[in-house]
Structure 1
Amino acid sequence: MSKPVLYLVVCGAGPAKSVAAMVDLALPEWDVWCLATPSAVEHFLDLDDLERRTGHPVRTTHQGPRQQALPQADAVVVAPATYNTINKWAAGIADTYVLIQLAELTGLGVPIVAMPYVNSALAGNRVFHRSVAELRESGVTVLLNEPHAPRTPADYPWAAALGACLPRKSSTEGTTPR
């Protein structure tokens, strides 16, 4: 029996450096496929390590002619989600591979959990609040943590994001999908 597929969407923010912790938490229950923004790739991620851990290449662009297609996602975690990604996603701006995927997955009704990593100055912006409300209205679970001070790193609760999208059992196993 195969594991459910989890897309882990990684944006360019400080906690992305420790995304391997999230992958390790998820692997016992999920088949993890990482998708990453250009900023995450350029500044934070060790792509070789993530590929070794998941057994899959990190997807950063559209599928190439020799690339394996992504399997259908059972759930998506966007973590860390940046201010920019949250606002563009909510506004329907799909100008990167990750934003196109998020727009499609939202439209398909795939369960999505987003956990922003924003400082207190950005979290206090009305645009951010409107974007969070829009995503929630679209069916996305947005987990807000206590914002940290600008230019000050903060702990990131990877387990909270994963816990919000527990694997769904198929209806043939006698449970109801959430």
Structure 2
Amino acid sequence: MTRTLYLFCSAAPPVFDVAGVIEHAQARGWDVCLGLTPSAARWVESSIDGLAALTGRPVRAWYKQPGEPDVWPDPDVVLFAPVTFNSLNAWALGLTSSFVVGVAAEAIGNGTPAVALPCVNGGLARHPQFARSLETLRAAGVTVLHGADGVGGLPAGEVPGEPFPWGRALDAVGSP
């Protein structure tokens, strides 16, 4: 039986690596459904059709309309990476105006395992709400890869010197 990974991405530079991440997850045995924040969807707009072909499912960035069928199977795990300051805080606060944040918030309530790998600059990482949101998500059972478990904050505008730790994120979701 194939298990389903919801891979959710915010608009941060690692989103440009998403095709390779999907391939790695599929090689591990996952059926991958890709969801993007509206900004991330704009960033990779020219690749949306190819990403849909890669997953075999539509890429989603918006809620479905009432009466439309669900086009994805239920998730076995949610991986939100890269998750930006805005999306992480919205998720922790239960502000579900974007599809991926809404589904991630619902995953907590449904007991679906979830992993978050933030990608934020140093200034935002030092904002007091960020620490509160990390703690809220961890207390809700989300595996948050930040600090010793993931990546730290970066100075504003700086690109990480090391690749985004996608492998660590995939290891955290486990095997199907």
Higher helix share: 2
**Residue ranges of structure 1 left out of the alignment (5+ in a row):** 169-178
Aligned counterparts of 2:175 and 2:68: Cα–Cα separation in 1: 30
Superposed CA offset, 1:108-137 (max 9, x none): 010000000011111111110000000000
> Could you say which residue in structure 1 is the equivalent of 2:86?
84
User: Distance between the aligned counterparts of 1:141 and 1:33, measured in 2?
Assistant: 19
CA distance in 1, matches of 2:71, 2:54: 19
Residue 35 (structure 2) pairs with residue 27 (structure 1): no
Which position in structure 2 is the counterpart of 1:132? 134
Aligned residues of 1:6 and 1:33 also touching (Cα < 8 A)? yes
Q: Residue deviations 1:23-70, cap 9 Å, x none?
A: 111002100000111000112352112112111110112234565432
Quote the residue 2:145 is aligned against: 143
Match of 2:95 in 1: 93
CA distance in 1: counterparts of 2:59 and 2:170, whole angstroms: 19
Q: Which moved more, 1:79-88 or 1:43-52?
A: 43-52
The offset of 1:147, in angstroms, is 2.1
Partner of 1:47: 48
Counterpart residue identity of residue 122, structure 2:
S
Residue identity in the other structure for 2:145 = L
- Which deviates more, 9-18 or 38-47? 38-47
- Structure 1 residue 59 and structure 2 residue 63: aligned? no
Could you say what the CA RMSD is over the residues aligned between the two structures, in angstroms?
Answer: 1.4
Out of 134, 155, 169, the position equivalent to 1:161 is 169
Contact 1:14 1:44 in 2 (8 A): no
How far apart, in 1, do the equivalents of 2:157 and 2:167 lie? 24
Identity in percent: 37
Alpha-carbon distance in 1 for matches of 2:168, 2:118: 12
Give the structure-2-normalised TM-score: 0.89
CA contact (8 A) 1:63 1:69 kept: no
- Structure 2 residue 110 is matched with structure 1 residue 108: yes
Deviations 1:59-94 (A, max 9, x none): 112234565432110001001000001111111111
Stretch deviating more after TM superposition (44-53 or 9-18): 44-53
C-alpha distance in structure 2 between counterparts of 1:96 and 1:68, whole Å:
17
The residue identity in structure 2 corresponding to 1:48 is: D
Structure 1 position 103, deviation (Å): 1.4
